[in-house]
Amino acid sequence: MSNTSHHLWHFHGGLKLPGHKAMSTGSPVARATLPAQLVVPVQQHIGEPGKLLVEVGERVLKGQMLSQADEYVSAAIHAPTSGTISAIEERPIPHPSGLSALCVVIETDGEDQWIELAPLQHPRAKSPTELRQLIRQAGIVGLGGATFPTAVKVNPGPRAKIDTLVINGAECEPYISCDDMLMREQADQLISGCQLIQYMVSARHCQIAIEDNKPEAIAAVEAQIKAEGLSTIEVVAIPTLYPTGGEKQLIKVLTNREVPSDGLPSDIGILVQNVATAVAVHRAIYLGEPLISRIVTVTGEGVAQPQNLQVLIGTPMAELIAQCGGYHKDAARLIMGGPMMGFSLRTDELPVTKGCNCLLVENSAEQLPTTMPCIRCSACAEACPAQLLPQQMYWHASSKNFDLVQDYHLFDCIECGCCSYVCPSQIPLVQYFRFAKTEIWNQERDRQKSDHARIRHDFRQQRLEREKKEREEKLRKKKEMLEKKKQQEAEQGDSAPADPKKAAIEAAMKRVQQKKAAQQTDSNDEQ
């Protein structure tokens, strides 16, 4: 149901950024070629890593579970294609600090042979709990980039009442277009996924929010809703303004309500899911397919043929770039995600993960801007969607005054980059805020450690004291017993002639003396 006259609200600040999206939307989503080797990290989600189910040398089929989610906040991973496991070892993964982590390496056999799938014809015959279990089995995580396990998110608990399901198709970061293409090409699956999630959380309404710079996507989804004659799902075209796609900002725009700083959207009756996640839910339930691939936007001035690709998880990034015609000669930076919040990678020898929505290749900037001192112009505060005062936070963060920087609500910073973007002094503000957060976390950890140590020390002290007391008590009791005994004996022995012990000792002494005297006379005789 189209609703163009929907009343919308604003969040503070935000930026109108050049989109650069048309660059990668010229051709339909192509299938990435099957690589010879897939490197599938065991942990691609927020939460605990899963438990490995496979061994080196084992042959796996497409869709076979490689690790299972044992903990509640965890997600399973699956073999993206059929092949043989050649290694289970630490490999570099896409991470801001260039870390390595446990990966399952699969030599693909080119057969792409599926395991037996169990599609559901009538999901509504199942309970929401059963459907959540299927989502959990399918290893679905938030595909907008946060990679939080979806099975957990669609279980808001008995206390929270979800009124509105918001499907996030804003895609507000420049260059990225994977959600746009998904909405254009898979609107039917998207709507089906929305209905499933709506059913699971019993939300009365569903709003699919799409920035108004994606008219094709809006039209496609609206047409699908109209064709199915749905009345509880509507498309809301929202103004293109970065970072409208942020969960809290999107809710503000749609409802004028603010998610409490220390709360979740479910506290105000809202659940937000990304469009790609909704499609993954549809595929998991209706087709029985686990999450083994995603659409990745390969784009930027530094790549020859920008486009969107349907990519198997674990595909090396270098192969995607090669499929897109390779690098431009000035290519200088590889970014996973968008230019505002993505992180830059040291190398392209890394696997695509569930959270990888975009590979952006930037050419070298002609001139690096010089950083100047802050002139307190407040352009950052005017741009901040969290209504913070970045320049004050910067001041306190750079002087390591971590108490004050928290007074200025450091932890409400979503690191969207608006402040750094507008700063005339070219100060990398977000970098300072990340630094402050890390420092505070470290301090907190140290404090907890020392608290723990103090508690242990206290316990030891207590134990020692207790033992000492026990010993003393024992001693005292023993003494008392003796005393009592003595008294008793004294009471009894008042009438007795003398102390028998003393008499015995005296007798012994006498005997010794006599013996000595006898020896002496003997020795005298000998002399």
Partner 1 sequence: MQFKTATSPHTTLPGSVQSVMFKVLLAMVPGTIAMIVFFGWGVLINILLASVVALSCEALMLWLRKRPLKPYLFDGSALLTASLLAIALPQLAPWWLTLIATAFAIIVAKHLYGGLGFNPFNPAMVGYVVVLISFPREMTQWVPPLVEGHVLLSFSETLRVIFTGELPLNYTWDAITMATPLDTVKTQLGLELSISEIESHAVYGPMFGAMGGFGWEWVNGLFLASGLYLCFKRIIDWRIPAGVILALLVFSNVFALYDYASFTPPTFHLLSGGIMLGAFFIATDPVTAATTRKGRWLYGLGIGSFIYIIRTWGGYPDGIAFAILLMNMAVPLLDYYTMPRAFGHRWNEFPHHHKGDEDEH
- Could you list the residues that contact partner 1 (CB under 8 A)? 11-12, 96, 98, 174, 248, 252, 258-263, 318, 327, 331-335, 337, 339-348, 360, 362, 369-370, 372-379, 381-382, 385-389, 391-392, 403, 407-409, 412, 415, 417, 420-426, 428, 430-431, 434
**Residue 339: CB minimum distance to partner 1, A:** 5
Give the nearer residue to partner 1 in terms of CB position, either 86 or 387: 387
Give the nearer residue to partner 1 in terms of CB position, either 66 or 242: 242
Give the rounded distance of the alpha carbon of 352 from its chain centre. 17
**Residue 327: CB minimum distance to partner 1, A:** 7
Give the nearer residue to partner 1 in terms of CB position, either 116 or 403: 403
As a whole number of angstroms, the distance between CA 423 and CA 371 comes to: 10
The dihedral over CA atoms of 23, 29, 34, 40, expressed in degrees to the nearest 10, equals: 80
Give the nearer residue to partner 1 in terms of CB position, either 74 or 299: 299
Helices (H), 354-428: 379-383, 390-398, 402-407, 418-422
As a whole number of angstroms, the distance between CA 316 and CA 318 comes to: 5
Going from the C-alpha of 507 to that of each of 437, 491, 496, 500, 501, the distances in angstroms are 87, 25, 18, 10, 10
**Residue 149: CB minimum distance to partner 1, A:** 24
Contacts for 331 with CB less than 8 Å, ≥ 6 apart: 302, 303, 361, 362, 363
Give the nearer residue to partner 1 in terms of CB position, either 76 or 397: 397
Give the nearer residue to partner 1 in terms of CB position, either 42 or 334: 334
As a whole number of angstroms, the distance between CA 527 and CA 521 comes to: 10
**Residue 10: CB minimum distance to partner 1, A:** 12
Going from the C-alpha of 326 to that of each of 14, 334, 508, the distances in angstroms are 34, 12, 110
**Residue 141: CB minimum distance to partner 1, A:** 21
Strand order in the sheet with 270-274: 233-238, 205-211, 164-169, 270-274
Beta-sheet pairing, 293-299 with 100-108: unpaired
**Residue 64: CB minimum distance to partner 1, A:** 32
Contact 15, 421 (CB under 8 A): yes
**Residue 262: CB minimum distance to partner 1, A:** 8
Give the nearer residue to partner 1 in terms of CB position, either 104 or 410: 410
